Chains A and B, each alone.
Chain A
Amino acid sequence: MAHVLMPRLGVSVTEGTVSAWLKQVGDPVEVGEPICEVATDKVDTEIESTVAGVLTEQLYAVDEVVEVGAPLATVAAADEATAAPAPAAPEPTAPEPTPSIVPDPAGFGDSPDTGPYPEPPAPELGPRPEGADDQYAVVMPRLGVSVTEGTVSAWLKQVGDPVELGEPICEVATDKVDTEIESTVAGVLAEQRHAEGEVVLVGEPLALVTPDGALPSAAPAAPAPPASEPTAAPAAGAAPTAQPAPQRAAQPSATAGPTVPGRPAELRPAPFDHTAAVDRLLATVARAGRPVAAPSARRLAAELGVDLALVPGTGGGGHVTRADVQRAAEQPAAAPVVAATPSAAPAPAAPAAPVPETTGHPVGPDGLPIGYEDVPYDAVPTSRIRRVTAEHMTRSRRTAAHMTTEVDVDLGLLTDVRARLNAHRATQGRGKLSFLPFVARATCAALLEHPDLNATFETERLLRWGEINLGIAVDTPRGLMVPVLRGAERMTVETLGEGITDLAARLRDGKPGPDDFRAGTFTISNPGSVGAVSAPAIINQPQVAILGMPTIQRRPWVVRLADGQETIAIRPILRLALTFDHRALDGADATRCLVDIGRRLETWDVDDYR
């Protein structure tokens, strides 16, 4: 019996949604054979079986979310498949004594070392409540007051390796120190939660160490087969078999455990370790399952009418601080002000309708917007991409101070240049280039002169990125996607054009890789492709600006003739819109960059683009 696990489908992918099962219970599966389809916010992919045998259980239904590393399905080897999948209770007819009730008396005398208080039996992996994985997790410790994360530089233990308490399991590099992380749990390494090179936040689990190396949630929901017990049971003696916790490192200042007669009593905990206390405290932030805010921040949020659930926390472990609340309150159109819920007092009979954070409007008891109960409707489930986009867009609008600047660009000259270039390409059997790669090329050239727009804003600092990773917003049947052209500043118009075509093809086929979406530093959105005549956009965080490219319109335009006279001509005009984060830079900076892009588009000759 083995599990097919949800694989890590990209550096930043933590979960996926099962979109379809390709194999049903009872179906034979080969290694490498797809068993289901999973959608993440980055890619849709088929999950291949890592085990050969017969599918005995689908652990997630379609549309359920699976975390990376969790078992997706159970596959029994061909010979076990015939056995009943759920082990039966101990057979009542078994002639052997029931060792867990009647201990072998000799067991006491034989082991003077352990005395009358035998070691607790090895923990059993039985059904456990949700969240019990915590006890198996080796958590990224706080390696210094100001250290909030580290990078896994090397794994010293591999999955399946036995691990002792205090034994180094991996090396972690922070900006302060490089250090080995020691296990706080004894057992067998069941999972490396992060690959080498990945960044781990303080308080996040680095690894799971379980008594037998099995993933906790992979434990079958049935007791271990009784046949394997008899040898272990006498050693366990009469000790209670109920769920012993796995062995853990002594936690300073944790409550002392119960005392055992005849053993040295641990009445008082070890000296208080403030650093460990911070770790433990901040680790609870992520586990809280609700917005975690300092009491003072809660009071401020109540005073200012800010919904804490919508405030991004920048405090330790990601908790919401007073400053976070203040920021959220100061941002226009930011976190919805609870007190300002419009017309939230409907019929007097109805108590104030709650405004779920997910909908943004008051919802009645039947789950419909108040007042819409008699309107026919279809409920269409939203895709994962839709939900991710929704969250991403509102977060961006909430955190960034959006402002848009626009310029009109006369593409008359460029139209000729493009025609000549495409004609030349046609002779070589290569496809036509649209205007997009020209705009992208001019944008990259301008960004090199205006590096503050190819950046990330972090209040205390602006990160100017040393390469231009150009995101291209693409409308796909599955939703908006923004693949990234890495190192676009080194590309010519033609390589840009081919890169965009290539990415678009991969998107269309549903075969993009996770790295196709990573590390964008600037984005171009092209609503002109569907006819928009203006193109303000929402900034693609953590970037600070996005260029909107509407449709090119033929307009009556004042042009200067060779003799100095002016006349009105019909020109192809592109109204470029640069939306930028006014926190990071000012309107003049952004407009200078945009004018630069326009100037390059208006004046460059064909060789400038190659």
Chain B
Amino acid sequence: MTKRRIGIGLLYSRSGSYSLISEACRSGALAAIATVNADPDRDLAFVPVERDPQGNVDLYGPLCEEILRDTPARHVIGCVTSWSRKEVIPTLERHGGTLWYAVPYEGFEASDHVVYTHACPNQHLLPLLDWVMPAHGRKAYLTGSNYIWGWEVNRLARERITQAGGEIAGERYLPIGSRDVGRMIDEIRYARPNFILNSLIGPSSYEFLAAYRDLGQRDPHFLPQTCPVLSCNMTECELPAIGPAAEGLVAAGPYFRGIDGWPDAGRFGSSHEAAAYVAVLELARLLHGHPGAEALPLSQLVAQRGAGGIIDPETHHTVLPALIARVEGGAFRLLHRRAGVAGDPYLTRGTSAVIAPQLRVVS
């Protein structure tokens, strides 16, 4: 089959504080591009157009503009932080472009120009809280990096935990990149919560986990069995940077390596990789057999070609399994699974009422 050559933007930072996640997404996207290009049954081949914002949030808008203005690419796979995603949306609107976003985020967004292929809170945070409160107790300490991801995840956690009769023992934020975790550890030591929700990113998170492991060695209350650290954004791609301090960490996500789920189990190193891979394959499916479809705005593309695909036409979110897994011996082991959870970015579609039904702990 003759292949149409279609430009596809890649907007991932190859350096900076969250580069491990960018690299995971990027390799998932590149693997999918290679798959599509090698598939003789697809009438298209993707030509990657790469720009590297180097972890600088102010470069995302201009570089996205460069892709959409100076090249034929209309679809961009990219962005890790919510902050950078918000930066590129006006550019996407102006040029009728589409961003495929493959990272968990805090919800409360449903752009007409973005497809969200990773989890939002009803697919990560809420199942995680539903699991942890019956298992460990309702007294929480909340941490996060100082930007919208941590703020919003913790706001929602605070709301859910207090609704369930729990309490917030403390809440503290660090600037992105900061390793100044001493005060958090002190507060945790005195507050003695039942669990810690960690929405720190990059080096702040690695430092925190290392310091918390030390604390656990001094005081057994802070061992993972009694007071675990939870995360909605931790995946395999960051485990090497954390080392043994990751042991016992409990994370929520749509996919963990080696655990049956979504998509081809075992094929991907992390859910970031898997979500970016799925994004590119879905784009290929939408464009296959329809020359010119690559120039359509996302809403029209989904309206005309979306049937049988993964994109909810109203919210542009996807149906994902909600898995909860714990790091044991350097890999995630499944604790709990909720299958087929549709993304509900505004928590208005009935999933918001789910508080601790009878959950079965798989061990």
Q: Do A and B interact?
A: no
